[in-house]
Amino acid sequence: GNSVTQMEGPVTLSEEAFLTINCTYTATGYPSLFWYVQYPGEGLQLLLKATKADDKGSNKGFEATYRKETTSFHLEKGSVQVSDSAVYFCALIRGSGGGADGLTFGKGTHLIIQP
Amino acid sequence: ETGVTQTPRHLVMGMTNKKSLKCEQHLGHNAMYWYKQSAKKPLELMFVYSLEERVENNSVPSRFSPECPNSSHLFLHLHTLQPEDSALYLCASSQEGAGSQYFGPGTRLTVL
């Protein structure tokens, strides 16, 4: 079956540091890949996505590249801010999203940015 | 209202109570989902509705009963729950073929 593995953390960084959160996946076919962010007391917000190999998703300074050869979708940001503190979830959906289908999530990575 | 809304935001119930969670999406989507988020566990898909028909029931106990009366509304009816059902219940919606799902803020459920 499908699965997503990501570092759980907490990951603690200083403001303006470089961020990498690793995500690898197992899936049949050609899944679409997502990063979601959850701030305290809130639901999940879509951060970025990629639907095919070598696609790069980007938003709010975050980016991730769909690497089929390494089955990875690592999240990066060049300079983090305190406001980036949240839990980040890597997820996949099987196929090309042609129908209604559930997301498979990783366990989430708690990111803490210190001023 | 915009996006996906959920009510109530917090719910405390006894094991013998019956309650319902409500979700409403204002995005014009045609698919809706229920997920369960428990501490220390990945988010779990519970139900998928497409065009108001249930297309997936992810081995969820019968004490959880979903209802989708139209493409904008989704309910989760709860009865005789167990304390281990305490969790954050998240609703999401999407447009079939687009892949991206948009989530509501969730209902924090505590079962005593």
Which tens digits make up the pLDDT trace of B27-72?
Answer: 999 999 999 999 878 899 999 998 877 777 778 999 999 999 999 9
Q: What is the pLDDT of residue A98?
A: 53
Q: How far is A78 from chain B (nearest CA, A)?
A: 25
CA angle B64, B65, B71 (to 5 degrees): 130
Between positions 32 and 71 of A, the ones with CB within 8 A of B are: 32, 34, 36, 41-46, 49, 51
Q: What SS3 state is found at A36?
A: strand
Is B81 within 8 Å of chain A by CB?
no
What is the pLDDT averaged over residues A96-102? Answer: 66
How many inter-chain contacts (A to B, CB under 8 Å) are there?
70
Look at the block and give the residue holding tokens 């708690």.
Answer: A110
Q: To the nearest whole percent, how much of chain A has pLDDT over 90?
A: 80
Taking only the tens place, the pLDDT of each residue in B67-105 is 999 999 999 999 999 999 999 999 999 997 667 899 999
Q: A23-26 and A109-114 as β-strands: parallel, antiparallel, unpaired? A: unpaired
pLDDT of residue B56: 76
Interchain pair B42, A107: CB under 8 A: yes
Q: Is the pLDDT of residue B2 over 70?
A: yes
Whether B75 contacts chain A with CB within 8 A:
no
| Residue A114 CB neighbour total at 10 angstroms | 11
